[in-house]
Amino acid sequence: MKRIGILTSGGDCQGLNAAIRGVAKALYVKWGDKVEIYGIQDGYRGLIEGNVRHMKREDFSGILTLGGTILGTSRQPFKKMRVIGEDNVDKVKAMKETFKKMKLDCLAILGGNGTQKTANLLSEEGIPVVSLPKTIDNDVWGPDMTFGFHSAVEIATTVLDCIHTTATSHGRVFIVEIMGHKVGWLPLYAGVAGGADVILLPEIPYKIESVVKTLEQRNKAGKRFSILAVAEGALSLEESKMSKKEFKAARMEMEHPSISYRLADEIGQMTGQEIRVTVPGHFQRGGSPCAYDRVLSTRFGTAAAQLIADEHYGHMVALKGTEIVAVPLSEVAGKLKGVPVDCEEVRSARDLGISFGD
Ligand code: F6P
């Protein structure tokens, strides 16, 4: 009998259930009654606390299109994994004990960057793991694409489409704040797909004068409105020169609830134009996965099941070009896949006249 544990960790995204289903169904096809799957509740927290349940086959049916995760999730920061807190719990030891107590053969771990780091830690500690890359940010190092990303792009693009009609009617400047703290793939793709005039990314610090210049040029050209797709992690050129500590302190002192509101104030003062801000927030992570993500999640799920069958542990499944491959977790851990400032997508947007505010 094979006993496989499965968990989802970090922020949720569309396609998690489709991927869980992919792993489980492929394992049942391979091993039939000779495999038991154990769902670990709320990510690594469940592994630490021993919150594990035996899943039935039917648990994995009817979930392909379901958003969120049937296993629940939580954020357990990697940097605190080896730190023993006030509860006096040695988290790494506790996770290893749960694995042993449940007599598991392997863990299938679904998550983003932080999750992959802890998956690598567990692998280094001798636990057989395979992992799957998820996140709406598409910032996991290794795969060309993570599941969740395209679904979020669809939602953010729909927001921009809807904003377009109202912006046109009123002749206003609209700022749409799109998720992406450190990495701007989502605002970049949604910005291009939604016809934004200005796209601000964490990777390309902006100058407010340059943003305003673009808006004024549009006014002169007789355009009634302008739309800015702004990453929640967008930052000014001055801020980009600050140390991490200085930046944190400056943002703590910022009077505005987010960067978009600060930009709205600054642009309003400099141009006298009417500015509105829209923040779709976690809406972008919710709901049913788009068709692309359903397929990618399924491919990742079945590929992970194959890694488990082959006992090819310590690896993350990844899409490279059109192929699904296995990448060693040791290569993935601790890296981030940001937007290269001169990548083809950015150059194409610039060719179209989209401003990045630099
Ligand atoms: O990592 C995905 C993500 O949605 C980011 O884009 C966003 O900055 C962050 O999670 C939000 O985190 P939380 O769910 O903790 O509010």
pLDDT in tens, 140-158: 999 999 999 999 999 999 9
> What is the spatial distance between Cα 193 and Cα 298, in angstroms, rounded to a whole number?
25
> Residue 268: which of 258, 259, 276, 257 has the closest Cα?
276
At residue 141, φ and ψ (nearest 5 deg) are: -70, 135
In this structure, the strands spanning 173-178 and 198-200 are unpaired
pLDDT at 314: 98
The answer to whether 123 touches 108, Cβ cutoff 8 Å, is no
The mean pLDDT of 321-338, rounded to a whole number, is 97
Give Cβ neighbours of residue 313 (< 8 Å, ≥ 6 apart).
Answer: 106, 123, 128, 129, 130, 307
Q: 35: pLDDT confidence band, cut at 50, 70 and 90?
A: very high
Q: Quote the pLDDT of residue 319.
A: 98
Whether the CB-CB separation of 357 and 237 falls below 8 Å is answered with no
Beta carbons within 10 angstroms of residue 256's beta carbon = 14
Q: What pLDDT is recorded for position 143? A: 94
pLDDT confidence tier of residue 115, bands split at 50, 70 and 90? very high
Cβ of 202 below 6 Å from ligand 1: no
Per-residue pLDDT tens digits for 42-100: 999 999 999 999 999 999 999 999 999 999 999 999 999 999 999 999 999 999 999 99
Ligand 1, atom 12, residue with closest C-alpha: 11
Among the listed residues 172, 185, 167, the one whose alpha carbon sits nearest the alpha carbon of residue 231: 185
Whether 285 lines ligand 1, by a CB cut-off of 6 Å, is yes
Q: How far is CA 157 from CA 136, 150, 170, in A?
A: 13, 10, 20
Tell me, yes or no, if the pTM score tops 0.95: yes
Residue 254 Cα to ligand 1 middle (Å): 20
Confirm or reject: Cβ of 130 under 6 Å from ligand 1: no
Q: Could you tell me where the DSSP H helices lie in the chain?
A: 16-31, 44-49, 91-101, 113-124, 149-170, 185-193, 208-220, 237-240, 244-253, 259-271, 291-309, 329-332, 344-351
Calculate the CA dihedral of residues 73, 90, 129, 22 and round it to 10 degrees.
Answer: -20
Sign of the Cα torsion 20, 282, 259, 210 reads positive
pLDDT range class, residue 16, cuts 50, 70, 90: very high
Mean pLDDT of the chain: 97
Residue 241 is predicted with a pLDDT of 97
Mean pLDDT calculated for residue range 158-183: 96
Q: Please give the Cα distance from 274 to 236 (Å, whole number).
A: 22
Mean pLDDT computed over 114-122? 98
Does 135 sit in the ligand 1 pocket, CB within 6 Å? yes
**Residue 10 DSSP class:** S
Choice from 181, 258, 283 to test ligand 1 binding pocket (greatest atom count within 8 A of CB): 181
Residue ID of nearest Cα to ligand 1 atom 11: 11
Question: Which residue, judged by its Cα, is nearest atom 3 of ligand 1?
Answer: 11
179 lines ligand 1 (CB under 6 A): yes
| pLDDT number for residue 216 | 96
155 close to ligand 1 (CB < 6 Angstrom): no
- The residue to mutate among 117, 178, 285, 339, having the most atoms of ligand 1 within 8 angstroms of its beta carbon, is 285
pLDDT in tens, 177-207: 999 999 999 999 999 999 999 999 999 999 9
| Å from CA of 28 to ligand 1 middle | 33
Three-state DSSP at 261 gives helix
Binding site membership of 336 for ligand 1 (Cβ less than 6 Å): no
In degrees rounded to 5, what are phi and psi of residue 198?
A: -135, 135
The response to whether residue 52 sits with its C-beta less than 6 Å from ligand 1 reads no
Q: In which band, very low, low, confident or very high, does the pLDDT at 10 lie, cut at 50, 70 and 90?
A: very high
Which residues are known catalytic residues?
Answer: 137
Binned at pLDDT 50, 70 and 90, residue 268 comes out as very high
Q: Please report the pLDDT score of residue 141 as a whole number.
A: 96
Q: How remote is the C-alpha of 308 from its chain's centroid?
A: 25
pLDDT of residue 179: 98
- C-beta separation of 147 from 15 below 8 A: yes
Q: For 176, phi and psi rounded to 5 degrees?
A: -110, 120
Query: Which of 78, 138, 179 has most ligand 1 atoms within 8 Å of its beta carbon, as the pocket-test mutant?
Result: 179
pLDDT level of residue 131 (50, 70, 90 thresholds): very high
Confidence of residue 274 (pLDDT cuts 50, 70, 90): very high
